Amino acid sequence: MSKKNQLEAYYGLPNEVTFCTKCVMSNQRPTSAVEFKHTKESKKTTMNFDDDGICDACKTAEIKDNIDWGMREEELVKLLDKHRKNDGSYDCLVPGSGGKDSAYQAHVLKYKYNMNPLTVTWPPILYTDYGLKNWKNWLDAGFDNISFYRNGKVMKLLTRLSIENLLHPFQTFILGQKNLAPKIAAQHGINLVFYGENEAEYGNPIADNTSSLRDKSFFSFENLDEVFLAGVSIKELMDKYDVRLSDLMSFLPPKIEDLEKANIEVHYLGYYLKWTPQEVYYYAVENTGFKARPHRTQGTFSKYSGIDDKIDDLHFYTTFIKFGIGRATYDAAQEIRNRHLTREEGQALVRRFDGEFPDRYFDDIMKYIEMEPEYFHELCNKFRSPHLWGKDKGGEWKLRHNVSKTGLDD
């Protein structure tokens, strides 16, 4: 298709849709979960593909096979010894909700490496029953915890606005989740914060495992006039929605001067220990009482990832609408990289489950944010990028291209 005849691509996505030759991920995958607007002017970047059509995440998986994990563990022990405290105070911080990843992180750090972690929870917007039980089981396995329940009225407002303006139910939730850990660490004199998997596992730029938070752009409190939450400026939130700055502080990053005093380091445990999601799941089950969902997660084939928040399933449905990438694509791609699935098996799972509408908790979510279901579906149609979606002869929306090459324009 000539440039003149190209269909409009929203969010700065590539006009030509291609799929990784090793997994099932497409070149439409954004590199990080940050805010973006429904506009062609957006400069959103996507993951890279090499000349052989292999995505960054698959190349990272290949690199993992050649890493000397014994040496990486030695690096970890040196890091822990540097921060280890012998006076009974906390020497590291692990943010999490009690899912398999945070359960694994905290347990390994405490019971294998003899650290004293403080766990910190930015709670789900709408807990599932089993998610709440997993969180309690995690703490009962031997951990102190701070659970920070932000302003409920503001969380509800921002969740609704995130859907209306960005079709991104988790946008402000993710920002608060990211920003809480360094604030709590600074308050408690903890200099070491651990996240789980390195972001490069999913095709994001490889995270720096040694930098301080002062160097990380998303931890900057400068230029609040340029900060948008849920697609709305701070000023507009205060003026139009009668929200105080104090109501928004829990979503915003810490102040620069606080970071400079705290001298906090952020590290990814997945950089030091080989991280395989299925094995992490088994470890969490055995050591922290973690339990999978009692049913298959809608939109995919798995039962144990991202199961603590009712809105999680809807979030992945919106990524399917905006990028043509549903939860089954994310899960199958990861399983292929870990050699638990073949590409052909992954394609079959994507065909079967990607884009499945998550109706199990949908009414609960609409009631919570006070939105009519019909309005939500109208928003979904508004956010479909023309280069990804078209209507078939029956008037039904269909992807123009998919990994099985059975799309509207394949």
The reply to whether 109 and 220 lie within a common domain is yes
Q: Would you say residue 217 lies in a domain? A: yes
The reply to whether 52 and 88 lie within a common domain is no
Asked if 214 contacts 40 with a C-beta cutoff of 8 angstroms, the reply is no
The reply to whether 200 and 305 lie within a common domain is no
For the packed helices 56-65 and 327-337, what is the interaxial angle rounded to 10 degrees?
30
Q: Would you say residue 166 lies in a domain? A: yes
Ramachandran class of 263: left when φ > 0, alpha when ψ lies in -120 to 50, beta otherwise:
left
Which residue did the predictor score with more confidence, 49 or 202? 49
The reply to whether 159 and 263 lie within a common domain is yes
Q: DSSP class of residue 146?
A: E
The reply to whether 298 and 395 lie within a common domain is yes
The reply to whether 297 and 179 lie within a common domain is no
Structural domain including 19 reads: 3-65+292-399
Q: Would you say residue 404 lies in a domain? A: no
For the cut 70, the answer to whether the pLDDT of residue 201 exceeds it is no
* CATH classification of the domain holding 196: 3.40.50
Q: Binning pLDDT at 50, 70 and 90, where does residue 168 land?
A: very high
Residue 47 tokens read as 């993951």
Q: Would you say residue 287 lies in a domain? A: no
What integer is the mean pLDDT of 280-288? 96
pLDDT in tens, 62-86: 988 899 999 999 999 999 999 999 9
pTM > 0.85: yes or no: yes
For the cut 60, the answer to whether the pLDDT of residue 43 exceeds it is no
pLDDT in tens, 340-386: 999 999 999 999 999 999 999 999 999 999 999 999 999 999 999 99
The reply to whether 53 and 105 lie within a common domain is no
- Which of residues 272, 305, 320 is at a domain's end? 272
Which residue did the predictor score with more confidence, 305 or 147? 147
CA–CA dist 365, 325 (Å, integer): 22
Q: Would you say residue 81 lies in a domain? A: yes
| pLDDT of amino acid 109 | 98
Q: How many CA atoms lie within 13 A of 52 on its CB side?
A: 7
- Which of residues 215, 240, 272 is at a domain's end? 272
Q: Would you say residue 73 lies in a domain? A: yes
Q: Would you say residue 321 lies in a domain? A: yes
The reply to whether 247 and 179 lie within a common domain is yes
Q: What are the strands, taking DSSP E only, across 257-340?
A: 265-268
Residue 377 tokens read as 């579906």
Q: Would you say residue 406 lies in a domain? A: no
The reply to whether 90 and 221 lie within a common domain is yes
Q: Binning pLDDT at 50, 70 and 90, where does residue 208 land?
A: very low
Count structural domains, the chain.
Answer: 2
The reply to whether 182 and 47 lie within a common domain is no
Which residue did the predictor score with more confidence, 257 or 75? 75
Residue ranges in 141-233 assigned as alpha helix (H): 152-166, 171-187
- Which of residues 224, 243, 272 is at a domain's end? 272
The reply to whether 87 and 232 lie within a common domain is yes
Question: Three-state DSSP class for 389?
Answer: strand
CA 44 to chain centroid: 16
The reply to whether 162 and 188 lie within a common domain is yes
The mean-pLDDT minimum among 93-107, 138-152, 253-267, 383-397 falls in 253-267
